Amino acid sequence: MSDGVSIAVVGVGAIGGAMAAALGDAGHNPALCVRTPFQHLSRHFDGETREYAHRVYTRPGDVSHVDWVLLCTKAHQIDGAAHWLRRLIGPDSRVGVMQNGVDHAARVSAYAAAERVVPCIIFLPANSDEPGFVEQARAGSVQVPECRAGRALADLFAGQSAVTVAPTADFVSAVWSKLVSNAVGGAICALALEPLSAVAATQVRGLSTGLIEEIMCVGRAEGASFPEDFAEKTIEKFRGPIGGHWTSIAADRRDGRPMEWQARNAVVGQIGRRHGIQTPLNDALTALLALIDAPSK
């Protein structure tokens, strides 16, 4: 590694693979901690396919404490990654939680103190159809809090152009704005089994608006601020070029995989109740997603 920083990426799917490749471009050699083994990591980006010599690990017993852990599993898969986190996270380790939602530090509180955790907001169009291969459509970006740990995470990615990591002063507003899109688009599209344009469909316009306003209300109680026309602009953006995109949670339902409704929707009701805020629309969609996601009896 160029500066002696030890890094491990836990979960090397689309996001984890793209992050590991970007770290390689920046001169690092992260350990790749995976469930399904592969020979080497490859990423297709900007018309070029590049291979990386990052070492792939499938057994937690083969790794030890590192300076940085980038947790790139989906939020509902943390329990499955617990054996990696116990081995990798030491008293001086920092953890970049590269997942959806707003409760990043709480999810890993059993493994790292809150001050050692850097929550990340990911905007990265990538997919992985086979282990070890990532196709990245365009340059991605990550927002992190404006703090010492956030700046340190951003520094890891310096010197490359595939992923930009930027400290953000008003991180609370940024993370809740992203949750609005994830919670509304994810729930409606997963239930309807439709791409993002479904959020702006005439039949569900009122539902979409009501959901957004509920989540904004909870977000404001947490200290977030939103532009006056945020709800309208959020719905309208789903009419644009991204309207044909399938959210990961909708794709998971379509393909028979567990869904990430806990971090997208259940968390809204949980936080709302702490503030005495009712979220009936969000709670109803959460209940439907949980029912669909429950194991067959």
- Quick check: is 74 catalytic? no
Distance, in Å, from the CA atom of 24 to the CA atom of 28, rounded to the nearest integer, reads 5
- Taking a C-beta distance cutoff of 8 angstroms, is the pair 243, 196 a contact? yes
Distances (CA, A) of 167 to 144, 150, 152, 164, 180: 5, 6, 10, 10, 21
Give the dihedral sign, CA 272/276/279/280: positive
Distance, in Å, from the CA atom of 238 to the CA atom of 189, rounded to the nearest integer, reads 11
- Please name the residue that has the structure tokens 């160029």: 2
User: 178, 233, 237, 297: which one is catalytic?
Assistant: 178
- Taking a C-beta distance cutoff of 8 angstroms, is the pair 166, 154 a contact? yes
- Collect all residues with Cβ–Cβ distance below 8 Å to 83 and sequence separation of at least 6: 60
| Residues acting as catalytic residues | 178
